[in-house]
Amino acid sequence: MASSSSSPEKGKEKANGKPSEDVAKHKVKKEGLGWIEWFMGWFYLAYEMLFQRIVASNLQNPMPLPPINDLTFIVTGSTSGIGKEIARGHVVMAVRNPKAASDLIKKWQEDWSGRGLPLNIEVMELDLLSLSSVVRFAEAWNARSGPLHALVNNAGIFSIGEPQKFSKDGYEEHMQVNHLAPALLSILLLPSLIRSSPSRIVNVNSIIMFSSVLNKRLPTEAGINVVCVSPGIVHTNVALEVHFFAATDPQLVDYCESLKAEDWPVCAFLNHDCRPANPSEEAHNVETAYRVWEKTLELVGLPSDAVERLIEGGEVKCKYGSSQ
C-alpha cells in the first residue's frame, strides 16, 4: 500500500531482510503517504472492523467439515485453539512451546470428557524464529514416512510500537515468522505432501506471491494445491475453522485446478467468509512474484530447483540443516 523512494542501498536492505551497513551510515529520507493511500488504508481498516463479523455471520459455528477422521494436519501457531470439528482428525501442533501446548491439550481433554469425540492431537516443537528448527522439524516428520494431508501455516506475528527485532538467523522477525519460515517449511514437507496426495498447503499469512509461484511449480500430477486465506483483523470463533475449511473443502480442488489450467497469475485465495476472492493488484504482478520467489529461496538457503528435485524424489540441501 505504501509507496516510497529510497536509495539502492535501502532497496538492498528490503530485499534481504537484513540491515545494511551503508544504510546505517546514511540517512534516507522517505516520502510520506499520499492522502489517497491514507484514506484507502483507514477505509479498509474500518470496513474490516465494522463489517467482518456481519459478513462472516452466515457461517455456521462450528463449521461443518467433510469426514476427516483419517486425515493428518500440521498446524503452526495452533495454541489458540483447534476447533471442535477439526479435532476429529490427527492434528499436529507445531509450536515453539511444547509444554504450553501439552497443558492446553490436557485442558481440552478435560472439557471434552464424555462427548464421544476422542482427541487425536500431537505436539512437536517448531521455532519459526530459527530456520534450523524448521529444517529439523521437516526432517523428523519426513523420516516418519507417514501421511500429511494438509499443512496449515497459521502462525504469524504483528507488533506495533516496539523496537525492531532480528532472529538469530539475522532476519527481521516479522519477515522470518510470517514469510521465510513458512516458505521453507512448505518446500521441505513436499515429500510427505506428495506421498499423501491429494493434499494442500494453506497459508494464512503474508506469502501470497510466494504461494502463487509455488502453486505454478507444482505439476497437476503432484496432487498438491496451494490456498491462501485472509485471516481478517477481527477475531471470531470461526476464524481458525475457516482455515481448516480451506484445508478440507472438496470443492476447492476443482477451483484450484481451474485456476492453474487458465494460467491465472495467483493461486486460490479465500476471504474471511470462505468465499473465493481476488487478491490485491500487486499480487498479480508475475515479475515481482518470481523475484520474491527467487530471493526467498536464496535467503532460506535452498537451490533454485528445490521444488523440482523434491517432486522427482531427489534430495535437497539447505544451508540451515542437513540434506532432505
Q: What is the pLDDT of residues 254-284, one digit of tens each?
A: 999 889 888 889 999 988 777 888 888 888 9
DSSP-assigned states of every residue in 219-261: -GGG-EEEEEE---SS--TTHHHHHHHHHH-THHHHHHHHHHH
Mean pLDDT of 288-315: 96
Mean pLDDT of 74-103: 76
Judge residue 15's burial from the number of C-beta atoms within 10 Å of its C-beta, 0-12 exposed, 13-18 middle, 19 or more buried: middle
Q: Which of 81, 134, 133 is nearest to 112 (CA)?
A: 81
Residue 322's pLDDT is what?
Answer: 60
Instruction: Report the DSSP beta bridge partners of residue 310.
Output: none
Highest mean pLDDT among 159-163, 245-249, 289-293: 289-293
- Whose cell is 515468522? That residue is 177
Average pLDDT, the chain: 79
- Please determine, for residue 318, whether its predicted confidence score (pLDDT) is greater than 80: yes
pLDDT in tens, 131-170: 999 999 999 999 999 999 999 998 888 777 788 999 999 9
Mean pLDDT of 16-40: 54
Residue 206's pLDDT is what?
Answer: 56
Q: Residue 249 is which amino acid? A: D
- Please determine, for residue 187, whether its predicted confidence score (pLDDT) is greater than 80: yes
Mean pLDDT of 10-18: 42
Residue 15's pLDDT is what?
Answer: 42
Give Cβ neighbours of residue 202 (< 8 Å, ≥ 6 apart).
150, 151, 152, 153, 227, 228, 229, 243, 246, 247
Residue 157's pLDDT is what?
Answer: 82
Residue 89's pLDDT is what?
Answer: 72
Does the pTM surpass 0.85? The reply is no
Please give the residue that has the higher pLDDT: either 44 or 138. Answer: 138
The angle formed by the CA atoms of residues 323, 211 and 246, to the nearest 5 degrees, is: 110
What is the rounded CA–CA span in Å between residue 151 and residue 75?
6
Please give the residue that has the higher pLDDT: either 199 or 12. Answer: 199
Residue 46's pLDDT is what?
Answer: 72
Residue 106's pLDDT is what?
Answer: 84
